[in-house]
Structure 1
Amino acid sequence: MRRFFLIVLDGCGCGELPDVLEYGVGDLGSNTLANTAKAVGGVHLPTLERLGLGNLTEIRGVKANPDAPSHWGRLAEKSKGKDTVTGHWEMMGVITDPAFPIYPNGFPDDLIAAYEATIGTKTIGHYPASGTEILKQLGEEHLHTGYPIVYTSADSVFQVAAHETYFGLERLYEICEIARATLPLCRVIARPFVGESAETFRRTENRKDWPLPPPHLTTLDRLSEAGKTTHFIGKTCELFPEAPGQHRELTTNNPAHCAALTNAAQHSDADFIFANLEDFDMLYGHRNDPIGFARLLEEFDAWLGTDFLPHLRPGDLVGITADHGNDPTTPSTDHSREYIPLLLFGPSITTPQNLGDVSGFDWWSNTLLRYLVDGEMP
């Protein structure tokens, strides 16, 4: 039996792309893995070092290993953009061009007015902001007025924050579904929070995403048509429409994602297991916290070596990659336009292979189709 695991370390880019300046000077010099390790004086990643992560870029504390039992390289994005949906779509064979609309100066008044008329209430905010900072700025006004907070980021995203108790989680989901039905942005995200003041507000794990559906069939559809099954873990559940032969496990944090992956390695008979570990990006990249980012890398490495690799079956292949960068050491708190890791390994891969810099995140799409559908080794 053949299985293919693709594990997306959200935001873990490995070097600026040649077109980085098309996305602003804020991304210049970005290298999430290398700069994070440098900022903390080095990271201890013995499992990933053995598998060849240090071959991708200079990572302090992680040696290059030209004899790694893996295929390695870096993938350059073909699509226009540097967001979660664009990255995951390209991994599954969908190239985005032109980029989704963004609003670096905030949402225009006519867009907001039309949205408010549809949901029947005023909103506050309307500008780009960090999700935690905007709660400090507007959370108390939200409690006083009952108006939901609307904000965006450097990505094509319409985010709506509201208090779980005083506004109501179902009402928040309802007005987000209205936004999804009426707005052209790539993603609509519900950002529920709790707390009583600017000092105590905190976001909860009841966030929910409404991405646009892909414009055409994806690799996931092709797998379904071939009678193959897919097991989604984490954020990947929310990025693609449902198709026959799919199981969705909507875990919401890295420990839960990793536990689900361990269980899948032990028990799942799905052909393709597709997981996203978003805490790197959500908790540390967007908050410019290299210490937390580095600690999470070390926790992932320990889990990988102890609780995942020992359960692989002879026919398993495992890919480790990312969807974009999110360098916590640069002034920007947004995603960065970077190469992503290409690290492929499994019991049947024993010969080292340096693939260099490869055009297209859809290398993953082509590789897993050849392995699962055509029966070819990579």
Structure 2
Amino acid sequence: MAFVPTDPPPPTWRLTAWLTTSPAQVPPDVLTILRGRLVVGVVPLIVAALIGAALASLAILRVPTSAMLAWFCADLALTLLRLTTMLVMRHTLRNSGQRLGEWLPLTDLYVLSSLLWCAQIGCGVGLCMASADSVLVPFACLVTTGLAGGLAARNPGAPRMTLVQMISVVVPFTAGAISDGQPWFLLLWALAPLYLVAVAAVNRRLHADYVALLCAERALRHQALHCGLTGLPNRTFFNQALTAIPSGRKDEEHAVALLYLDLDGFKLVNDTYGHAAGDVVLQQVAIRLRDVVMVTDVTARLGGDEFAVLLTGRRAASAERVARSIIAAVGLPYDLGQGTLASIGVSVGIAECDSGLADRHALLVRADRALYTAKQRGKGTFHHASPVRDDDGRTAWAIAECEAYKR
């Protein structure tokens, strides 16, 4: 089941990939979230750009040299590059557009532009310190500490990238201060590394806490959306998958087929061998379903001995073939231990829609009715309900049954 992407694609360049990778071992999906948080909002970016532009403008007024003018131009160009890259990334993700990301490394460009922006700010504050101007010096100190501290606190997702950004600001600042000729500024050679170490330690701690929080959130989300016994998605997940399917499309790429499964003879296993044996059977049924369906299909345990399989796109055309494979796989004997074998079957109701059913949950109701028909025909078989092909994608009875199901 393909969902709309909400995080930027991973970087493709070796340098940017290393900078945005966590030093600790984290799950791939958590790493994707960490990289996604690198794309700050428009407001923080604009505020940082205004501060940098204001300092560069003040520097030109106080010390109108070619170096200050070059800094102002570099600041303006890199700010526009950062803002443009971020807006393009947000637009691409919002519209699920993958074509642009296939040939343009947006994440790499954003990371690189952020590094260059910090480096030019560092060079700028270094020029301000070297000028020994009584107005520029305190402003340069304020911008340096604010930027370095803000990077450490706001960006716990990529500590390597944050450290490089802070170094690119603090080192030019220190070099500019020392070039002023003030003997007391020589102490910065000792203080600047200590400052970087302290701020980097704060960022690493925030990173560890952030990763732990994301992992805990990931575990809770998995627990809320999956069956604890079989590991399959639960009814809540399945309903979300149904809702996520775009409606109103009438082509093969957006076809939908739903298989509603109910085990035959499962109650007899529970009554004969106990509920523990029934749990073993349910776990093995889940394994067999995973072996039969594809990774792109959504397979869920809806509750008790009821399961469902959602096929989308071109896979919807193979609904009957999948049903036959499921019936054959589930019908094999189950080893309950100590030489005990149990046999069950499964009945399948199939409902499909290739005309953009307006309410996807009505599809589940139709598949349930088809399952009831399969049960009446002797179990261990499947029944294929007729597709809904009304002009608006509904029938009156489907609407009524869907509303009853929701209640």
If the length of structure 2 is used for normalisation, what is the TM-score?
0.21
Q: Which of structures 1 and 2 has the larger relative contact order (alpha carbons within 8 angstroms, sep 6+)?
A: 1
Whose helix proportion is higher, 1 or 2? 2
User: What TM-score do the two structures reach when normalised by structure 1?
Assistant: 0.22
Larger radius of gyration: 2
Select the structure that is richer in strand: 1
